[in-house]
Structure formats: C-alpha cells, structure tokens
A and B are shown apart, each in its own frame.
Chain A
C-alpha cells in the first residue's frame, strides 16, 4: 500500500503541476491514520497530504457528480470505484475524456469501525480496476470466488423467513440516508423520497415508509449498483443492505446477461431493450 501511496502522490503532483486536472480525488489523514478522509487535492502542495492505506475504502466516484460538467478530474479508483465511473460514463454524467483514472488494484481493505477485513461477502470481487489511465500497482490475480456466495443462506430460506428477515432489518433503519448519500449512483436531485408532491414515503421511520424507501432505492439501482458496499459500511445501524443489492444485481445479470459497470460502451440494462431480453417479469 505504501508503494501505491507514493505513486499516487507522484502522479497527483504531475497532473496538478501541468494543470491537466483541476482536482485529484484521493484521501488524506483524518483524526488518525486509521480514519482517512476523502480529499480533493487542488494544488501541487496538497499532493503531499495524500495518503493511501487499507482504510481508504470509500468509493471516490461518489464525488464526481459534484463537479461542473467538463471539469477535468483525476481520481484514485479501486476496482468497484472504476465500475461506478463506468456507469457514470454510460449514463452521461461524466465524459471519459474529463477523467484521468488512477487505477488501484487492491484487496484486503479494512473497515476500521467494525474491525473487519472487507471481502467479497460485503463488496464485489472486482480487485482490478476495469478502466484506467494509469495503473498504480501491478494487477492482482482475479479471484475465483463469487460475489454472490454470501446470498446462499438467505436464498435457501423460504419466502416467509426472508420477509421476516427484511422486516426486522428495515424496521431498524433510522432514515439517516447515509446509504443513499454514500452511493456514487444515487445522484438524483431531488431524490424521490424528498419529494412532497406526491409524498412517496413518510418522514417518520415506520416500517412501511422504510420499505418504500429501501425497496424503491434497491430497484432504482438495478443493473447500476457496482457492489462497492459503501452503503452498508455507511449504515450506523449495520443493516446488511449489500444482501439485497447483491440479489438484485445477481438477478439482473441472470436475466440480461450483463454486469453493471464493466464496459463504457454498453448501455445499462434498465435503459436498454434488446429483442432477446428475458420477459420473465412480464409473465
């Protein structure tokens, strides 16, 4: 990781010196080294504050939509981050040419708050960035695990048991919207849940309103979620949102034969229609 940090700083300096980008999205130290904070380096002098370690788990693609279209941005992108960038490119929220993608192959990232190692159970298994301009380390061997094996337990339970599980989990939601706000693909302004005419969900975190929010969000992300796991890590209540996102992603892949965020030339499945598409949902 130290090697990556060094290279990240070097590349950031170069890019900022030549003025080819307005900002380099990376990380800096937080109140201690185990709690890094997403950071936009703008000056060459900022580059020295850049860090990269196993706690730099945040999906920096989240910040791309905050910039004016046309702004040139460099971004430190891990595997899932790069897939999020692909979706943003597919959805025309950012142009490929406006990005300098500093790819970071990595695995074994850590969740400081929970004291756990992050693996494909709670995030995808994309260890190598799927697009990049500059790779900051050697590619890692592709894992032979599936990002969906964690679903086996839930899938083996019957309908009633699963409904009971999600009712329990979603009734604990306090509607802080950390999940939505951490997601690089929840960029709608306004979000449906904030609208008053019509009001889709009540303000209070009753089960009915929480279901309305979460189920709608899960489906708004169908074919778009890149399994970065930031939503679940952001949740102060430890709700395993990744289980639902992964299930929707898995079904989408099976029905439409396409994985979210792999190829900028593709169109997201929910925006596209092919004659050979499954019509399971219609029957």
Chain B
C-alpha cells in the first residue's frame, strides 16, 4: 500500500528572488527518482506539500505548468518555520514533496470560453501555472480570448517580471500589468487592480473570471465583476488554509463539509456560497 505521508526527494536546481523585499522566491526542483517524475502528473491549480526534514511541511501551489517538462516550480513567501528554512536553503539541497494534491482550475469548463485571469501580489502562483498552460502550443486554441490583469503594490513586488514582459509582447493574450504606486523607473500602468478591471471591463458573455488576491483586493474586485454581469458560477478562486496531511484526513482545513486540500483549493463563488462562511 502506498504511504501517502512519504515525500518524494527532489533537488533544488535554481532559486530566483522574485521581489525586492527578498521574501518571495521561486524554487525550481527536479525529481531525484525517475519514477517519481513520471508518476507526478498534475494540472494548474494543484499544490504539493513541500517537506523539509527537521522542520516540517508547507502546502505550496505549483507555479510551473505541466507543459514545462523536467522540473517543477514553487513560488514561496517566507512566513513561518518551514518557509523560512526553505528561504535559507541553497541550490543543490535535497528536499521532499508530496503531491500533486487538491483539485485543478476548471480546465474543461474553460474550454471554448474567454478567460480573464486576475491576480494580486503574491497571489498569482497557480494563476501563472494556468496562464502558461493555456498559452502553450496546442492548448491555446482550446480557449477564446485570454486576458491577464495582475498588479502589486510597487514595481519591486511584481513576481515573474520577465514572464509578464514576455506576455505583454504576445498577441494571443491581453496583458494588463499595474502597480499601486510606481517608482522613478516605472513606465507602466498605475492603479489598483479593481480599478484596472473596471477600465478593461471584460465582457461577461461566454467568459469565466479566475481571481486570486489578498482579501482587500478580492473585496473590491468582486463587485466590479458582478457589475459587469459575471454570475457566481463563472467566477473561480483558490482558497488558502492551514494544512497538514493535504489529503482530507487530518481535519484541519475544512470550510463546512469541504476540505480545502481535497475538495479545493479551487472553488467557484457559487460553491463557496453554499459553504459556511468561515475562512
């Protein structure tokens, strides 16, 4: 019987510091064992438990896309014991991961539709996975118009800067990058994410919005989409909860009868409405 508590060893290949406050880093990891790499089949939206023996585990969304072969990427914000230990690690360190865990962005449901991806600050990791996936080669034709609206407080806090620049140059995705407050070098847009959403005003016709962000951003962004005519079935988000087992047995991450690790983390707003309001 497979032991679901046992992590698979991976080695940290590269570490990229994403932000000028140094507290968000992207770790590219490679499986030590071929059979683990083959078995790890995931889709955007899922997460894995990153394991550091001696410290513990932490659930982190997978930021790479399954179309990125040969490696996985995790973008991690330094917050507690485990993430601090991870941030203090060097390239070449062996750590563990358990997964893939959780459900995925609703790729089947998105097929043939326009997709609006909205993210804020650190809450963009699995949205980046989704966008990379949708834009990749043969996948692109399965979706109609793709719009990305992403912002951070300052230019230094934008994550995946190079990737955002590359998307801006493409003509198969409309990219709107913004910051709350620019600096002397910033040439781009200034404005809060909800404001930019109002300006972009994506049509709700045959469109699904996928929104992640800090609570304050969500609070002001959702009304914009409701005003644009988006129904709750057509707005998706990803929840965060304190997790331990990651597969719905330790009882910790539930919202009502749903476990965020197993029945989520992806939920439509309609699904969330049916749950008890405790997150």
How many Å lie between the Cα of A199 and that of B80 in the bound state?
12
Closest approach, in angstroms, between the C-beta of B206 and any C-beta of chain A? 47
CB 8 Å contact bits of B51-95 with A (1 = contact, 0 = none): 000000000000000000000000000001100000000000000
How many Å lie between the Cα of A199 and that of B81 in the bound state?
10
How many Å lie between the Cα of A57 and that of B268 in the bound state?
50
How many Å lie between the Cα of A197 and that of B82 in the bound state?
11
A196 contacts B by Cβ under 8 Å: yes
Contacts of A196 in B (CB 8 A): 80-81
How many Å lie between the Cα of A196 and that of B58 in the bound state?
14
Count of CB-CB pairs between chains A and B under 8 Å: 5
Contacts of B80 in A (CB 8 A): 196-197
What is the interface residue range for chain A against chain B?
Answer: under 10
Closest approach, in angstroms, between the C-beta of B243 and any C-beta of chain A? 15
How many Å lie between the Cα of A197 and that of B80 in the bound state?
8
Contacts of A197 in B (CB 8 A): 80-81
Interface majority SS on A: helix, strand, loop or mixed? loop
Chain B: interface residue total (CB-CB under 8 A)? 2
Closest approach, in angstroms, between the C-beta of A159 and any C-beta of chain B? 35
**In the complex, which residue of chain B has the Cβ closest to the Cβ of A197?**
B81
Closest approach, in angstroms, between the C-beta of A209 and any C-beta of chain B? 16
How many Å lie between the Cα of A30 and that of B80 in the bound state?
42
How many Å lie between the Cα of A196 and that of B80 in the bound state?
9
Closest approach, in angstroms, between the C-beta of A133 and any C-beta of chain B? 40
**In the complex, which residue of chain A has the Cβ closest to the Cβ of B80?**
A196
How many Å lie between the Cα of A197 and that of B55 in the bound state?
11
How many Å lie between the Cα of A199 and that of B54 in the bound state?
12
CB 8 Å contact bits of A174-215 with B (1 = contact, 0 = none): 000000000000000000000011010000000000000000
Contacts of A199 in B (CB 8 A): 81
**In the complex, which residue of chain B has the Cβ closest to the Cβ of A199?**
B81
Contacts of B81 in A (CB 8 A): 196-197, 199
CB 8 Å contact bits of A220-252 with B (1 = contact, 0 = none): 000000000000000000000000000000000
**In the complex, which residue of chain B has the Cβ closest to the Cβ of A196?**
B81
How many Å lie between the Cα of A54 and that of B80 in the bound state?
48
Closest approach, in angstroms, between the C-beta of B162 and any C-beta of chain A? 33
Closest approach, in angstroms, between the C-beta of B8 and any C-beta of chain A? 25
How many Å lie between the Cα of A196 and that of B82 in the bound state?
10
How many Å lie between the Cα of A281 and that of B63 in the bound state?
57
How many Å lie between the Cα of A151 and that of B155 in the bound state?
67
Interface of chain A residues 141 through 161 with chain B (CB within 8 A) = none
How many Å lie between the Cα of A43 and that of B253 in the bound state?
37
How many Å lie between the Cα of A197 and that of B81 in the bound state?
7
How many Å lie between the Cα of A199 and that of B188 in the bound state?
45
Closest approach, in angstroms, between the C-beta of B80 and any C-beta of chain A? 7
How many Å lie between the Cα of A196 and that of B81 in the bound state?
7
**In the complex, which residue of chain B has the Cβ closest to the Cβ of A198?**
B81
Closest approach, in angstroms, between the C-beta of A192 and any C-beta of chain B? 16
**In the complex, which residue of chain A has the Cβ closest to the Cβ of B84?**
A197
Closest approach, in angstroms, between the C-beta of B55 and any C-beta of chain A? 10
**In the complex, which residue of chain A has the Cβ closest to the Cβ of B82?**
A196
Closest approach, in angstroms, between the C-beta of A200 and any C-beta of chain B? 13
Closest approach, in angstroms, between the C-beta of B88 and any C-beta of chain A? 13
How many Å lie between the Cα of A54 and that of B160 in the bound state?
68
Interface of chain B residues 20 through 51 with chain A (CB within 8 A) = none
How many Å lie between the Cα of A28 and that of B279 in the bound state?
33
How many Å lie between the Cα of A199 and that of B85 in the bound state?
14
How many Å lie between the Cα of A197 and that of B78 in the bound state?
14
CB 8 Å contact bits of B90-133 with A (1 = contact, 0 = none): 00000000000000000000000000000000000000000000
Closest approach, in angstroms, between the C-beta of A201 and any C-beta of chain B? 15
**In the complex, which residue of chain A has the Cβ closest to the Cβ of B81?**
A196
Interface of chain B residues 153 through 201 with chain A (CB within 8 A) = none
How many Å lie between the Cα of A197 and that of B84 in the bound state?
11
Closest approach, in angstroms, between the C-beta of A204 and any C-beta of chain B? 14
Closest approach, in angstroms, between the C-beta of B54 and any C-beta of chain A? 12
How many Å lie between the Cα of A197 and that of B79 in the bound state?
11
How many Å lie between the Cα of A196 and that of B55 in the bound state?
10
* Residues of A bordering B, CB below 8 Å: 196-197, 199
* Residues of B bordering A, CB below 8 Å: 80-81
What 5 A-B pairs are tightest by C-beta distance, nearest first?
Answer: A196-B81, A197-B81, A196-B80, A197-B80, A199-B81
Jot down 5 A-B pairs with beta carbons below 8 A, ordered by A: A196-B80, A196-B81, A197-B80, A197-B81, A199-B81
